[in-house]
Structure 1
Amino acid sequence: MILALLAASIVASGQTFTCTPTHVWDGDGPVWCAEGPHLRIAGIAAREMDGTCRTNQPCPDATAIEARDALVRLMGGARGTISTGHVVVRGPRLTCRSEGSAGGNRTAAWCRLPSGADLSCAMIKTGTVLRWDRYWKGPACR
Structure 2
Amino acid sequence: MVYWPLDDDFERLVPKLEQMLAVEPKPKPEREPGSAAPTADRFVCDVAYVTDGDTLRCQDGMRIRLHAVAARETDETCSPGHPCPTASAASATAELRRLAANRTITCERIGQSYNRVTAICWTPAEVEINCAMIRSGTTVMWDRFNRERPICRS
Q: TM-score range by the shorter chain?
A: 0.7 to 0.9
Partner deviation per Cα, 1:45-98 (whole Å, 9 max, x = no partner): 0000111101211100011111101111112xxxxxxxxxxxxx42x2111111
Equivalent residue number for residue 40 of structure 1: 65
Residue deviations 1:8-53, cap 9 Å, x none?
x4769x6211111111111001x11013310101110000011110
Change (3 A) 1:97 1:10: farther
The reply on whether 1:94 has 2:94 as its aligned counterpart is: no
What amino acid does structure 2 have at the position aligned with 1:138? Answer: P
SS of the residue aligned with 1:20?
strand
Q: Is the 8 A contact 1:10 1:106 kept in 2?
A: no
Residue of structure 1 equivalent to 2:150: 138
Q: Which runs of 5+ in 2 are unaligned?
A: 5-39
1:113 Cα deviation (Å)? 1.1
Q: Tell me the equivalent position of 2:52.
A: 26
Unaligned residue ranges in structure 1 (runs of 5+): 1-8, 76-88
Question: Which of 1 and 2 has greater Rg?
Answer: 2
Q: Which of structures 1 and 2 has the larger relative contact order (alpha carbons within 8 angstroms, sep 6+)?
A: 1
State the secondary structure of the residue aligned to 1:25.
Answer: strand
5 Å-filtered alignment, 1:52-131, equals 52-75=77-100, 89-90=101-102, 92-103=103-114, 105-131=115-141
Q: Quote the Cα distance in structure 1 between the aligned partners of 2:57 and 2:81.
A: 25
1:4 aligns to what?
A: none
CA distance in 1, matches of 2:3, 2:85: 28
By percentage of residues, which structure has more helix?
2
Change (3 A) 1:26 1:10: farther
Number of matched residues?
Answer: 117
Post-superposition, which runs of at least 4 consecutive aligned residues in structure 1 deviate over 6 A?
none
Contact 2:120–2:128 (CA<8 Å) still a contact in 1? yes
